[in-house]
A and B are shown apart, each in its own frame.
Chain A
Amino acid sequence: MTKKIKLSELGNLFGGLDVQALEGVKIEGDVEIDLGQMGMNPQMAYALGHETAQLALHLMNISRILGYPVDQMLGASPAKPARLTKLIESKFSVGKIEEWKTPIQEVVLGATSSDGGTRKSTITLGGETALPYYFDSPMPHRNHITMDVFDMPINMAKAVKSNYEDVINSPAEWAKKVVRDFGADMVTIHLISTDPNIKDTSPAEAAKTVEEVLQAVDVPIVIGGSGNPEKDPAVLEKAAEVAEGERCLLASASLNLDYARIAEAAKKYNHVVLSWTQLEINAQKELNRKLMKQCNVARENILMDPTTAALGYGLDYAYTNMERMRLAGLSGDAELNFPMSSGTTNAWGAREAWMVSSPLKEDSDWGPREYRGPIWEIITGLTLSLAGNDLFMMMHPTAVQVLKEITQTLYGGKESEPVNIDNWVGAVL
Chain B
Amino acid sequence: MKLNSPLQVYKYLPQINCAECGDATCMAFAAHLIDRSKKLDDCPPILKDEYKKKYLELQALLAPEIREITIGTGEHAKRIGGDDVLYRHQLTFFDPTAFAYDVWDTMPEAEFLERINRIANFRKFYVGKFLKVDMVAVRCVSGDPLKFAGAVKKASETTKLPLILCSFDPAALKSALEVVRDKNPLLYAATEKNWGEVAELALNYKVPVVLFSPDLDKLKSLALSFREMGIKDLVLDPGTYPQGKKLKETFEKFIMLRRAGIKEGQKDIAYPIMAVPLNAWLVYKDAVTASYWETVLSSVFTVRYGDIMILHSLEPYAMLPEVHIRDTIYTDPRTPVKVAPGVNEVGSPTKDSPVIVTTNFALTYYTVESDLSSNKINCYLAAVDTDGIGVEAAVAGGQLTAAKINDTFQKANFDFKDKTSHGTLILPGLAARLQGDVEDVTGLRVMIGPPDSGRIPGWMEKSWPPKPK
Contacts and interface: CB of A to CB of B under 8 A. Distances in A.
Q: Do A and B assemble together? A: yes
Contacts of B218: 87
A52 B225 CA distance: 14
Interface stretch (A109-117, A201-209, A263-271, A416-424): A416-424
Interface stretch (B17-25, B77-85, B242-250, B405-413): B242-250
A95 B53 contact: no
B245 A414 contact: yes
A382 B257 CA distance: 22
A316 B220 CA distance: 33
B321 A62 contact: no
B394 interface: no
Contact of A81 (B230, B245, B279, B321): B230
B333 A316 contact: yes
A135 B252 contact: yes
Contacts of A20: 60, 267
Interface in B130-185: 130, 139-141, 143, 166-168
Contacts of A92: 216-217, 219-220, 256, 260, 269
A421 B123 CA distance: 30
A409 B248 contact: yes
B303 A386 contact: yes
Contacts of A379: 295-296, 299, 321, 324-325
Contacts of B329: 316, 319
Given A92-B220, A379-B295, A425 B166 contact: yes
A360 B328 contact: no
A92 B211 CA distance: 15
B245 A366 contact: no
B317 A368 contact: yes
Contacts of B331: 316
Contact of A427 (B141, B227, B288): B141
Interface string B330-365: 010100000000000000000000000000000100
Q: Which of B121, B195, B228, B327 has the most CB of A within 10 A?
A: B228
A9 B174 CA distance: 38
B317 A412 contact: no
B244 A409 contact: yes
Interface stretch (A32-40, A286-294, A370-378): A370-378
A84 B200 CA distance: 10
> Which 10 A-B pairs rank lowest in CB-CB distance, beginning with the nearest?
A416-B244, A81-B230, A367-B316, A371-B317, A359-B454, A92-B216, A360-B374, A416-B246, A94-B260, A65-B52
Nearest to B255: A134
Interface residues of B, number: 106
A30 interface: no
A320 B329 CA distance: 9
Interface in A301-353: 311-316, 319-320, 323-324, 327, 351-352
Nearest to A354: B452
Contacts of B282: 419-421, 423-424, 427
A147 B52 CA distance: 63
Contact of B244 (A83, A320, A402, A415): A415
Contact of A410 (B247, B266, B283, B292): B247
Contacts of A49: 224, 228, 268
Contact of A362 (B244, B279, B312, B374): B374
A372 B325 contact: no
A29 interface: no
Contacts of B375: 359, 361
A49 B195 CA distance: 19
B278 interface: yes
Interface size bucket, A side? 35 or more
B192 A87 contact: yes
Nearest to A415: B244
B264 interface: yes
Contacts of A366: 316, 320
B259 interface: yes
B225 A88 contact: yes
A43 interface: no
Given A94-B259, A371-B288, A382 B244 contact: no
Given A87-B195, A94-B259, A65 B303 contact: no
Given A66-B53, A316-B333, A362 B130 contact: yes
Given A363-B124, A426-B143, A375 B292 contact: yes
Nearest to B244: A416
Tell me the interface secondary structure of chain A in the complex: loop
* Most chain B CB neighbours (cut-off 10 Å) among A88, A91, A313, A362: A88
Given A50-B227, A379-B295, A379-B299, A319 B247 contact: no
A411 B251 CA distance: 11
| Best-surrounded residue of B139, B292, B318, B374 (most CB of chain A within 10 A) | B292
A201 B195 CA distance: 72
Contacts of A312: 126, 324, 327-328
Given A312-B328, A363-B125, 10 more contacts: A82-B228, A133-B248, A366-B320, A379-B321, A382-B299, A402-B296, A410-B248, A415-B244, A416-B247, A425-B140
B269 A82 contact: no
Contacts of B312: 429
Nearest to A350: B324
Contacts of A365: 316
B252 A18 contact: no
A192 B325 CA distance: 31
Given A351-B452, A367-B315, A414-B244, A372 B320 contact: yes
A401 B87 CA distance: 29
Interface string B268-301: 1100000010110111000010001101100110
Contacts of A181: none
Given A87-B222, A360-B125, A406-B300, A429 B281 contact: yes
Nearest to B143: A426
A409 B283 CA distance: 15
5 contacts: A16-B228, A319-B303, A320-B89, A383-B328, A425-B188
B95 interface: no
B221 A87 contact: yes
Contact of B123 (A50, A89, A364): A364
Nearest to A85: B196
A379 to B, nearest CB: 4
Contacts of B216: 92
B279 A419 contact: yes
A86 to B, nearest CB: 8
Interface in A369-401: 371-372, 374-376, 378-379, 382-383, 386
Interface in B190-221: 192, 195-196, 199-200, 203, 214, 216-221
A85 B317 CA distance: 48
